[in-house]
Structure 1
Amino acid sequence: MRVLFTVFSLFAACYAYDAVLFSNQREIGGLPVEQLVKGATAEEPIVFIVNPDFTLGQFSVKANAYSAEPATDFLAKSVKNSNFHESQYFPHQIEASSAQVLTSSASYKSGAAIYILAGEEWTSMEQLAEELISKIDNSIGILTSTDAVYHESTNRVKRVATDEFDAASNSNSPSTGSPATGAFPFPLVLPPYNNTNLKVAPEANLTCLLYLEGVSVVVQQKNDKTLAYAAAFVPGSNLTYAYADGDVKCAKGTIGEFIFRLRLTLTQDIKGKQFNTDAFSMKSGDLIDVTLNITGDIFGYWQLSGATLHEAAITGTGAYKSAKSQEQTIGEVETRYSKINSVAGWALACGQTQAVFFPTDDQTVKIGIALVNTQIQTFNIRNPDAWLKAPHFTLQTEDCTGTFSAGSWMGIVSALVLIAGLIFGYVMLQSVQTMDRFDDPKQKQIVINVRE
């Protein structure tokens, strides 16, 4: 039932706004949100509790709907313990121009018919609700997204933030020529909190981390009906990285899109080989500029869902062709075998991921990029202790290499087959019995008289 509810929520979110309603005094079953808002009074006010990323899936995670553990979240417990509660969705924004918008407990004034408790993400939204919901008597609480409620102040803030983000994105796009700074040594950490030259400070809404020690460049070339592969390992000692504002985008929470841009520059010439034969080369100063798009879904999983190779070029040797790739974007179909995936609350550690291949200016050649000795997580860990205040990786880590490899499984299955055959043969031998009599039962039995 939970799976059906979650699947329904996923499709409903594409066409409507999710909402969770709860009240202790008033029966709200079957009453649409629009009707409740129109009938709101100072004696029975409506309290919208909103954040930009609210979905029913987010609420389900906070309510521990997918585990046997009881919910510890204040809002989840409030909904569960309320006398009346239900979920709804509506296709249009709710007009609430007369509402009192509260972004802190100090701004609260009694007497309004509609309140909007506006948080930047779930934590701030929950804190506001915990401080204020008990002060507003006889209220009907409505958990929903910021976009679902129209109010001049909240929409103006949203437009300004969007304009600033768009400006930042445009200034960092390759087409504008906005320069990235530095040629910093590896290992690479994004956001670069460990780089004292950049002085990037942790922010509340940055909830992801990436660590990288090197890459592998893999070239795929189609020859008639066969595919030929050549690869070159590029360690961190042969790379530097640059950084520009906007190279990292972290969602507020575990649901949403996470972006990491890797601006890598070779410091030495490298050669790619097919077995022991030279196949391609790259020169010192060449760029490997790639953006990774990671998506966290409402089911609690995150994975590499797309990537863009901004610039990379190879010079072919022998039978291999030269090729160049610029601003080539691939989607989920091309990245599904990369092994860059995990679950919410867990980091991914990988000695080397599968290569993600991008088209080039030659249709028979593709350039693939694999991450070497990398760790990725879609959240930050912070500790109040002074020596652990900086964001760091969690100890809950999943390795991209499974417990059993293909060879291990082959050995295990082969051993089980042999053991099964041995047991079958042993049982068959144990079932062999000696005949009770050796003569024909239809003939007269042989009687031997023994005289003393």
Structure 2
Amino acid sequence: SRRTDVVGELRRQLMATEEDDSLSYPPLNVTTGNDTCILFYASNFSLKANSSVLIDLTNATFVMQNVDISSSECSDINTTLSLKYTKPVNGISSLEIRFLMTNKFYGGSARNWSTLDSVEIVQDEEKFAKFNVSVISAPAEYSFHCQLVGTSNLYPARLIPSNNEARNWDVFISKLQIQGFNIENNQFSYASDCTGFFTPGIWMGLVTSIILLWILAYGIHMIMQLTTNSRFDDPKGAALSVPQTE
């Protein structure tokens, strides 16, 4: 019917729009010879210096690719993604951002895991800021994805200042996806997401359910503790006599 055709057309348009949004630009790739060893993607990649100077690096990194990645290093154990920018904003002549990743074997899981250990920012080749990274790890054959990564306490994956210079920087990365090991066909592998199974909404639902179950159990327990009189007045028998004393 015509209505079905219209609905189908709308669905195709929505799917096409979603695909266009997700593929607005390709990820940044670092190659050694003919092989890709690092893939990096973000829908927004911005920094803020001294809580005032906003530096949006998204266009320079992914669209124009006006970034120097020649200092990046790849190996089976350690990988460094180096992004160098020349005069990203007025007042800063050069800016380098490094993502340091390692690939280690962990006996507990009996497999290799890739971990983003730290992020470094070098301004004008003299000011060095270092951030430790929380919860950014994935099986070595996977990529890592997170909706929000940065210095904010509200982000699921945080960059934690490791020295005084790092406190002068704020980092904002949205829809981050990065892979530094075991890349095949120049494409991201299956993504391990930073969002765990127990989200805040799930925890709230579990806590609420436990409280309601406790109230129900307490009510049933109180009902079971109710007692009845041991003697009743029989209408066909003699009336109960209750002695009264002065």
Would the TM-score normalized by the shorter structure come out above 0.5?
Answer: yes
Question: Are 1:309 and 2:121 matched, yes or no?
Answer: yes
Change (3 A) 1:298 1:213: same
**TM-score normalised by length of structure 2:** 0.62
Give 1:35-434 correspondences, 5 Å limit: 188-191=27-30, 201-203=33-35, 207-217=37-47, 234=56, 236-237=58-59, 240=64, 241-247=66-72, 249-252=73-76, 256-264=77-85, 283=90, 288-299=95-106, 300-311=112-123, 326-330=126-130, 334-337=131-134, 339-355=135-151, 356=159, 357=161, 359=163, 365-382=167-184, 390-394=185-189, 396-434=190-228
How far 1:305 moved relative to its partner? 1.7
The one-letter amino acid of 1:246's match is: S
How far 1:411 moved relative to its partner? 4.0
8 Å CA contact 1:346–1:377 kept in 2: the answer is yes
How far 1:207 moved relative to its partner? 3.9
Runs (5+) with no aligned partner, structure 1: 1-184, 194-199, 221-228, 268-281, 313-324, 383-389, 440-446
8 Å CA contact 2:27–2:39 kept in 1: the answer is no
Aligned length: 197
Supply the distance in 2 between the matched residues of 1:431 and 1:311 (Cα, whole angstroms): 73
Q: Secondary structure at the match of 1:309?
A: strand
String of CA shifts for 1:55-99, please: whole Å, max 9, x gaps.
xxxxxxxxxxxxxxxxxxxxxxxxxxxxxxxxxxxxxxxxxxxxx
Change (3 A) 1:345 1:329: same
String of CA shifts for 1:284-318, please: whole Å, max 9, x gaps.
98754210111121212222222321127xxxxxx
8 Å CA contact 1:264–1:288 kept in 2: the answer is yes
Supply the distance in 2 between the matched residues of 1:404 and 1:265 (Cα, whole angstroms): 43
Runs (5+) with no aligned partner, structure 2: 1-23, 107-111, 152-158, 240-246
The one-letter amino acid of 2:118's match is: G
Q: Which has the higher contact order (CA 8 A, sep 6+)?
A: 2
8 Å CA contact 2:132–2:162 kept in 1: the answer is no
How far 1:230 moved relative to its partner? 7.9
**TM-score normalised by length of structure 1:** 0.36
Supply the distance in 1 between the matched residues of 2:229 and 2:54 (Cα, whole angstroms): 72
Q: Secondary structure at the match of 1:304?
A: strand
How far 1:406 moved relative to its partner? 3.3
String of CA shifts for 1:400-445, please: whole Å, max 9, x gaps.
1223333542343133223322232134324534233269xxxxxx
8 Å CA contact 1:359–1:367 kept in 2: the answer is no
Q: Secondary structure at the match of 2:70?
A: coil
Supply the distance in 1 between the matched residues of 2:148 and 2:207 (Cα, whole angstroms): 27
8 Å CA contact 2:79–2:102 kept in 1: the answer is yes
Supply the distance in 2 between the matched residues of 1:437 and 1:398 (Cα, whole angstroms): 70
More strand by percentage: 2
The one-letter amino acid of 2:98's match is: T
Change (3 A) 1:242 1:208: closer
The one-letter amino acid of 2:82's match is: R
| Identity value in percent | 19
Supply the distance in 2 between the matched residues of 1:186 and 1:297 (Cα, whole angstroms): 31
Root mean square deviation, CA, Å: 3.8
